[in-house]
Amino acid sequence: MKVLLFGATGPTGKLILDNLLQENHEVTCFVRNPDKLTMKHQLLTIVKGSILDQAAIEPALKNQDIVVSALGKKPTITDTSMSGATEKIVRAMEKTGTKRIILISTLGIKETKGMMGLFFTYALQSVLLKNNFAEKARQEDILAKSTIDWMAVRPSVLTNGTKTGNYKTGFQPGEKINPKLSRADLADFIVKNITTTKYSRTAVNISY
């Protein structure tokens, strides 16, 4: 597959990139600062550009089979850059005819609010991470209103733990879960779904 990856310089994006290359997918990384991505690989192409510049995104989409968005930001930054970027990416995809996107969202928004426990929901999500969660909800709204084939992946709190392969998906509000998930397992799940449309136009919950 030919994959356009956003957020490749972040901690989760780097793991997704590694997994994609290990599976012999051709990856184009769209990054603001190429100096942050020092990896060299025959299947890797790096494109410099702003995630808020649709005119720069459109040519990067040429001949791509799927887009993966691992965009994120620091919790202290209260802006709408993630949803703004998602809007630009989706509009560029619609214009160029690129059909599929997998986007990292978060557990705890919309109907899953409260699934990670009272402390997280009311002490962290409602205060420190309030803007981040609102942005993730906006991102999902943009996908839902689009004409493309999308999949939003909603992980619980991400850690730097190892890959286990023992994660579960599809659980519903009220089910008991571990409120943490390793980035390595999240990357594994995303890359495994590159070649399938099992979760077409669906938000998928994932945790242990």
pLDDT at 44 (0 to 100): 98
pLDDT at 71 (0 to 100): 95
φ, ψ for residue 94 (rounded to 5)?
-60, -40
Local confidence band at 62 (pLDDT 50, 70, 90 cut-offs): very high
Sheet containing 202-207: order of strands? 44-48, 26-31, 2-6, 66-69, 100-104, 149-155, 202-207, 168-169
- Greater model confidence, 127 or 96: 96
Percent of the chain with pLDDT over 90: 77
SS3 content of the chain, % helix, strand, coil (to 5): 35, 20, 40
- Greater model confidence, 118 or 60: 60
Q: What is the dihedral of CA 154, 158, 161, 166, to 10 degrees?
A: -20
| Whether residue 105 has pLDDT greater than 70 | yes
pLDDT at 63 (0 to 100): 96
pLDDT at 121 (0 to 100): 65
Give the model confidence (pLDDT) of 156-165 as tens digits. 989 999 999 9
Tell the CATH topology of 2-207.
Rossmann fold (3.40.50)
- Greater model confidence, 12 or 121: 12
Sign of dihedral through CA atoms 186, 187, 191, 194?
positive
The residue ranges of every structural domain in the chain are 2-207
Q: How far apart are CA 173 and CA 72, in angstroms?
A: 25
pLDDT at 178 (0 to 100): 85
User: Both ends of the chain: CA-CA distance in Å?
Assistant: 28
Using an 8 Å Cβ cutoff, are 86 and 136 in contact? no
DSSP state for residue 93 in the 8-state scheme: H
Residue where the block lists tokens 């808020």: 52
Local confidence band at 90 (pLDDT 50, 70, 90 cut-offs): very high
Average pLDDT taken over every residue of the chain: 92
Give the model confidence (pLDDT) of 15-56 as tens digits. 999 999 999 999 999 999 999 999 999 999 999 999 999 999
pLDDT at 73 (0 to 100): 81
Local confidence band at 128 (pLDDT 50, 70, 90 cut-offs): low
Pairing of strands 168-169, 202-207: antiparallel
User: What CA–CA distances, in Å, run from 129 to 49, 86, 114, 139, 141?
Assistant: 27, 19, 14, 15, 19
Q: How far apart are CA 38 and CA 9, in angstroms?
A: 10
pLDDT at 125 (0 to 100): 62
Using an 8 Å Cβ cutoff, are 159 and 133 in contact? no
